[in-house]
Structure 1
Amino acid sequence: MPKASVTFEKLGITILVPAGTRLIEISEKIGAGITYGCREGECGTCTVRIVSGMENMSERSVLEDKVLQENMAGRDHRLACQAQVLGGNIVVRG
Structure 2
Amino acid sequence: MAKAELTFKDIGKTVSAPTGTRVIEHSEKAGSGIVYGCREGDCGTCIMDVVEGWENLSQTSIVEDRVLREQHAGRHQRLACQAQILGGKIVVKPA
| Same-fold status (TM-score > 0.5) | yes
2:77 match: 77
1:49 match: 49
Q: Secondary structure at the match of 2:15?
A: strand
CA distance in 1, matches of 2:53, 2:74: 15
Q: Secondary structure at the match of 1:51?
A: strand
1:27 match: 27
* Matched residue count: 94
Deviation track 1:12-60 (CA, whole Å, cap 9, x = no partner) reads: 1001110011011001111113211111000100000000100000000
Q: CA deviation at 1:87?
A: 0.2
CA distance in 1, matches of 2:13, 2:86: 19
TM-score, structure 1 normalization: 0.96
TM-score, structure 2 normalization: 0.95
Q: Secondary structure at the match of 1:29?
A: helix
Structure 2, unaligned runs of 5 or more: none
CA distance in 2, matches of 1:34, 1:49: 10
1:88 match: 88
CA distance in 2, matches of 1:21, 1:63: 18
Q: Is 2:34–2:93's contact at 8 Å kept on the other side of the alignment?
A: no
